[in-house]
């Protein structure tokens, strides 16, 4: 891959860079944290080992406070300690005494003379170590870390002045404590924490890899949204362009039908013209529905709401359907019921659109019988009820009724023309005007559509 290609790839795939950065940063932070933890653990262990050494040397001092003047007694004590450790090691293989050297020295002019020790061969030897002098003069135990580079072991050497029961300094206790046991435990703990570290880093890298796939999905989602928007724009543009020629065609067909006699159109041709008229009207309403869908989806649906008396509008739309109802032998009525007020904040054109669809459907899906439109008010709401004695629907069909393009398909609806968009558009418009729509229906018995709007309060109406 050329450098320019890599640059383009990185530019188009920012999520890739982001994932890589995360893959480096997060594990590094965890590794650094584990290292800090191991360092502080080592320091704590060192500190507690040193405290332990000082504590042991003080307790030895207390036990020997009365025997300090007798080198034999002191050697006996040291021997007993060594014997005890050896016995313990025989009983328990895992037992390992931390104290690996125990020396007691007397002050001898400028130096110190060994008078009791684990290593009897060294008894009588003189030492003039700086650490001994400091501990002797400071009156306090001093601890020193010694690293044996040959085997990488380290020890704590505690030098502590031994005082008799009167508090006078009599001897110097030099004890060497091995850090081996604790070092092994520490290295096991650290190995475990490094293992956990490796697993966490692997888990994080895998998670981030999965995450970068999520990014891809997000990108895909964005692309789908863009395509969806393009589709909406296309439908909107195509419907607009289709509307004009369809209106022209419909206009000329109507003219031909109306002027059929003058134009000497035969009855056979008139029949064909009527079929063309029905199909053109169907095409026209499909275009209108598509335009409405794209207006709603793009948030362009006009809503010029203001307080209006709703009853006359409902009555007016109902009357528009009287002829159609009569043709189907349907009794169509519009009545008020417990109507105290019917002032609602609403867009008149939109409400008419809703009513045309609901009352139109009631007539469309009622072979014969009744369609009753009622307007009533209760509490602070206005209800418009459209009840028909038509084909009705099952509870399952009712669940999908307000979905886009949903049409009930059965022998009773086969011959009825429609797009399945009307109720979806109706619901969107009703909700746009702060209302709600619901349906109650029974197959074979009819349906009841209820539209509810909040009533405008009296004082608002006056203003
Ligand atoms: P269209 O009538 O164009 O098919 P709608 O969205 O207006 O689309 O209605 C969706 C479906 O709901 C219709 O196809 C019809 O099956 C059913 N429907 C609507 N109104 C009624 C009604 N009053 N009675 C029975 N079925 C109805």
Alpha-carbon span 439 to 384, nearest angstrom:
12
pLDDT at 254 over 80: yes
Closest residue CA from atom 20 of ligand 1: 361
Task: Quote the pLDDT of residue 164.
Answer: 85
The answer as to whether 185 is a domain residue is no
The verdict on 24 and 155 lying in the same domain is yes
The verdict on 321 and 280 lying in the same domain is no
The verdict on 146 and 204 lying in the same domain is no
Q: Which atom of ligand 1 is nearest to the CA of 421?
A: 6
Task: Quote the pLDDT of residue 375.
Answer: 97
Query: Pocket of ligand 1, candidates 397, 401, 410, 430: which has the most ligand atoms within 8 Å of its Cβ, to mutate?
Result: 401
The answer as to whether 104 is a domain residue is yes
Expressed in angstroms and rounded, the spacing between residue 421 Cα and the centre of ligand 1 is 9
Alpha-carbon span 451 to 430, nearest angstrom:
8
CATH code of the domain containing 419: 3.30.565.10
The answer as to whether 336 is a domain residue is yes
pLDDT tier for residue 130 given thresholds of 50, 70 and 90: confident
The verdict on 112 and 168 lying in the same domain is yes
Instruction: Please list every protein residue whose CB sits less than 6 Å from any atom of ligand 1.
Output: 357, 361-362, 365, 388, 390-393, 401, 406-408, 413, 418-423, 447
Q: Which atom of ligand 1 is nearest to the CA of 425?
A: 6
pLDDT tens digits, residue range 417-447?
888 999 999 999 999 999 999 999 999 999 9
Contact 155, 169 (CB under 8 A): no
Query: Pocket of ligand 1, candidates 281, 289, 361: which has the most ligand atoms within 8 Å of its Cβ, to mutate?
Result: 361
Residue 401 CB coordination number (10 Å): 20
Minimum mean pLDDT range among 136-150, 231-245, 326-340, 381-395: 136-150
Alpha-carbon span 334 to 315, nearest angstrom:
6
- Strand-strand pairing, 153-163 and 169-178: antiparallel
Which range, 175-179, 205-209, 383-387, is most confident?
Answer: 383-387
- Domain span at residue 102? 12-178
Domain count, the chain: 3
Alpha-carbon span 20 to 36, nearest angstrom:
24
The verdict on 54 and 158 lying in the same domain is yes
Expressed in angstroms and rounded, the spacing between residue 330 Cα and the centre of ligand 1 is 18
What is the maximal distance between C-alpha atoms in the chain? 151
- Strand-strand pairing, 330-337 and 369-378: parallel
Task: Quote the pLDDT of residue 201.
Answer: 80
pLDDT at 7 over 80: no
> What is the sign of the dihedral through the CA atoms of 262, 266, 270 and 272?
negative
CATH code of the domain containing 97: 3.30.450.20
Expressed in angstroms and rounded, the spacing between residue 294 Cα and the centre of ligand 1 is 20
The answer as to whether 79 is a domain residue is yes
The verdict on 310 and 293 lying in the same domain is no
pLDDT tens digits, residue range 347-377?
999 999 999 999 999 999 999 999 999 999 9
* 3-state SS track over the chain: CCHHHHHHHHHHCHHHHHHHHHHHHHHHHHHHHHHHHHHHHHHHHHHHHHHHHHHHHHHHHHHCCCCCCCHHHHHHHHHHHHHHHHHHHHHCCCCCCCEEEEEEEEEECCEEEEEEECCHHHCCCEECCHHHHHHHHHCCCEEEEEEECCCCEEEEEEEEEEECCCCCEEEEEEEEEECHHHHHHHHHHHHHHHHHHHHHHHHHHHHHHHHHHHHHHHHHHHHHHHHHHHHHHHHHHHHHHHHHHHHHHHHHHHHHHHCCCCCCCCHHHHHHHHHHHHHHHHHHHHHHHHHHHHHHHCCCCCCCCEEEEHHHHHHHHHHHCHHHHHHCCEEEEEEEECCCCCEEEECHHHHHHHHHHHHHHHHHCCCCEEEEEEEEEECCEEEEEEEECCCCCCHHHHHCCCCCCCCCCCCCCCCCCCCCCHHHHHHHHHHHCCCEEEEEEECCCEEEEEEEEEECCHHHHHC
- Structure-model confidence comparison of residues 175 and 48, the more confident one: 175
The verdict on 44 and 164 lying in the same domain is yes
The verdict on 108 and 202 lying in the same domain is no
What mean pLDDT comes out for the span 177-188?
73
Alpha-carbon span 336 to 363, nearest angstrom:
20
The verdict on 25 and 162 lying in the same domain is yes
pLDDT tens digits, residue range 316-330?
999 999 999 999 999
CATH code of the domain containing 288: 1.10.287
Alpha-carbon span 251 to 243, nearest angstrom:
12
Minimum mean pLDDT range among 386-390, 403-407, 446-450: 403-407
The answer as to whether 359 is a domain residue is yes
The answer as to whether 461 is a domain residue is no
pLDDT at 2 over 70: no
The verdict on 270 and 321 lying in the same domain is no
The verdict on 154 and 206 lying in the same domain is no
Expressed in angstroms and rounded, the spacing between residue 318 Cα and the centre of ligand 1 is 18
Task: Quote the pLDDT of residue 461.
Answer: 46
Expressed in angstroms and rounded, the spacing between residue 420 Cα and the centre of ligand 1 is 7
The answer as to whether 164 is a domain residue is yes
The answer as to whether 183 is a domain residue is no
- Domain boundary among the residues 297, 324, 355 is at 297
- Domain boundary among the residues 239, 265, 297 is at 297
pLDDT tier for residue 463 given thresholds of 50, 70 and 90: very low
pLDDT tier for residue 462 given thresholds of 50, 70 and 90: very low
Contact 154, 147 (CB under 8 A): yes
CA angle at residue 240 from 236 to 246, to 5 degrees?
A: 135
Alpha-carbon span 306 to 364, nearest angstrom:
31
Of 398, 406, 390, 303, the closest CA to residue 353 belongs to: 303
Residue 371 is encoded by which pair of tokens? Answer: 């369609």
- Structure-model confidence comparison of residues 337 and 99, the more confident one: 337
The verdict on 136 and 270 lying in the same domain is no
pLDDT at 257 over 90: yes
Share of the chain above pLDDT 90, in %: 43
Alpha-carbon span 328 to 383, nearest angstrom:
27
Alpha-carbon span 161 to 174, nearest angstrom:
9
pTM, 2 dp: 0.57
pLDDT tens digits, residue range 15-37?
667 777 877 888 788 888 878 88
- Structure-model confidence comparison of residues 12 and 330, the more confident one: 330
Task: Quote the pLDDT of residue 430.
Answer: 97
- Domain boundary among the residues 253, 269, 297 is at 297
pLDDT at 111 over 50: yes
The per-residue pLDDT of the chain, averaged, comes to 86
Alpha-carbon span 97 to 323, nearest angstrom:
112
What mean pLDDT comes out for the span 408-419?
88
pLDDT at 275 over 90: yes
Residue 297 is encoded by which pair of tokens? Answer: 């989806």
Task: Quote the pLDDT of residue 98.
Answer: 72
Alpha-carbon span 238 to 102, nearest angstrom:
101
């Amino acid at each position: 891959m050329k450098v320019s290609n890599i640059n383009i790839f990185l530019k188009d795939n920012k999520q890739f860079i982001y994932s890589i950065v995360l893959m480096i940063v997060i594990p590094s932070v965890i590794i650094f944290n584990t290292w800090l933890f191991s360092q502080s653990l080592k320091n704590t262990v060192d500190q507690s080992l040193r405290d332990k050494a000082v504590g042991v040397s003080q307790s030895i001092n207390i036990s020997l406070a009365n025997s300090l003047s007798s080198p034999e007694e002191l050697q006996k004590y040291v021997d007993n300690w060594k014997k005890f450790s050896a016995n313990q090691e025989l009983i328990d293989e895992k037992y390992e005494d931390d104290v690996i050297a125990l020396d007691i020295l007397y002050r001898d002019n400028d130096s110190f003379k060994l008078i009791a020790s684990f290593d009897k061969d060294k008894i009588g030897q003189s030492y003039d170590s700086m650490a001994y002098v400091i501990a002797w003069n400071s009156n306090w135990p001093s601890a020193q870390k010694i690293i044996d580079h040959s085997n990488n072991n380290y020890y704590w050497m505690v030098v502590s002045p031994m005082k008799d029961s009167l508090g006078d300094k009599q001897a110097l206790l030099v004890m060497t404590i091995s850090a081996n046991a604790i070092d092994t435990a520490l290295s096991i703990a650290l190995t475990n924490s490094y293992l956990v570290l490796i697993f966490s880093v692997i888990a994080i890298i895998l998670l981030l890899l999965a995450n970068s796939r999520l990014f891809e999905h997000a990108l895909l989602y964005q692309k789908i949204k863009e395509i969806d928007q393009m589709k909406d724009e296309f439908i909107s543009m195509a419907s607009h362009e289709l509307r004009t020629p369809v209106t022209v065609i419909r206009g000329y067909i109507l003219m031909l039908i109306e002027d059929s006699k003058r134009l000497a159109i035969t009855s056979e041709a008139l029949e064909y013209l009527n079929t063309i008229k029905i199909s053109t009207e169907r095409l026209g309403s499909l275009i209108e529905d598509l335009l409405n869908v794209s207006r709603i989806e793009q948030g362009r649906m006009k809503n010029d709401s203001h307080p209006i008396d709703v009853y006359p509008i409902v009555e007016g739309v109902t009357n528009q359907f009287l002829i159609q109802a009569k043709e189907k032998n349907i009794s169509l009525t519009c009545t008020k019921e417990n109507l105290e007020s019917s002032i609602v904040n609403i867009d008149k054109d939109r409400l008419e659109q809703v009513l045309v669809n609901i009352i139109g459907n009631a007539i469309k899906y009622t072979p014969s019988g009744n369609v009753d439109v009622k307007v009533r008010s209760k509490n602070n709401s206005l209800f418009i009820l459209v009840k028909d004695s038509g084909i009705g629907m099952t509870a399952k069909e009712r669940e999908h009724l307000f979905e886009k393009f949903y049409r009930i398909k059965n022998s009773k609806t086969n011959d009825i023309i429609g797009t399945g968009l009307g109720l979806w558009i109706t619901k969107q418009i009703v909700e746009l005007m702060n209302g709600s729509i619901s349906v109650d229906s029974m197959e074979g018995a009819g349906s009841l559509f209820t539209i509810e709007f909040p009533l405008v309060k009296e004082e608002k109406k006056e203003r």
